[in-house]
Structure 1
């Protein structure tokens, strides 16, 4: 059964109108209509949300829809997060190799990098589509994200407190 038929059947079984389902998924009613007519396919995050909403497995929801399965497989090959990681690691390696050649000390490099780091972080925050991002966050993602952030901040807090106390004492 194609995703369009499965979606329409599940929506009707659960007594939801297209508008009700659209409200649950935080999208337009027209998007639901296009999915049910087979004009467009839902994104992976919407397929997951639909699966959760109707209490059916992803396998049951998309089984039989070869077009959607192919699209999801292609999307998983090299996703955007992988590109960010690959380019970030490449930039870090190039920077690591080049900074001694230029003759810059580590302290100077760290001082110079503050502005580009903060600037790029600001632009990342500004360019994220937060509505879709928040829908994709699961409880384990939030927990691991908090652990990751805490571990990153520990040395920064230690440095800040040491610098502050040394400045006050000396």
Structure 2
């Protein structure tokens, strides 16, 4: 099941309006509407809050939505690459600084 269908089902089963869910997640009602209409996806923090609030695992929440899984996977890979780049740049600056001190 796609994430948009999951959010609709979760919200309706809890008897929440879009506004009530938005208030709980500290987002706008329009954001919930965009998620439910497939125009955007929830960020990881919102997914975690939804899973905790409604006693679901992240797997149960997103596993059926291939686009969402791929988006999160690419986000995680990007984060790893960014960390590696930052470490490399820091090492270069440290090397240059150390060499200039000599």
* TM-score, normalised with respect to structure 1: 0.54
What is the rounded CA distance, in whole Å, between the counterparts of 2:98 and 2:58 in structure 1?
Answer: 51
Q: Which one has a bigger Cα radius of gyration?
A: 1
**Residues paired across the two proteins, number:** 102
Partner of 2:47: 47
The higher relative CO (CA closer than 8 Å, separation ≥ 6) is in 2
What is the rounded CA distance, in whole Å, between the counterparts of 1:37 and 1:102 in structure 2?
Answer: 57
CA deviation digits over 1:66-124, x for unaligned, max 9?
11111111111121x752x43443243223322343246xxxxxxxxxxxxxxxxxxxx
Is 2:23 the partner of 1:19? no
Seen in structure 2, the aligned counterparts of structure 1 residues 50 and 98 have a Cα distance that, compared at 3 Å, is same
The Cα shift of 1:25 comes to 0.5
What is the rounded CA distance, in whole Å, between the counterparts of 1:86 and 1:69 in structure 2?
Answer: 23
Richer in helix (by share): 1
Partner of 1:94: 92
Partner of 1:63: 63
* Structure 1 residues not aligned, in runs of 5+: 105-170
What is the rounded CA distance, in whole Å, between the counterparts of 2:36 and 2:70 in structure 1?
Answer: 18
Q: Secondary structure at the match of 1:78?
A: helix
Seen in structure 2, the aligned counterparts of structure 1 residues 59 and 103 have a Cα distance that, compared at 3 Å, is closer
* Structure 2 residues not aligned, in runs of 5+: none
Partner of 1:128: none
* TM-score, normalised with respect to structure 2: 0.86
What is the rounded CA distance, in whole Å, between the counterparts of 1:22 and 1:76 in structure 2?
Answer: 26
How much is the aligned-residue C-alpha RMSD, in angstroms?
Answer: 1.9
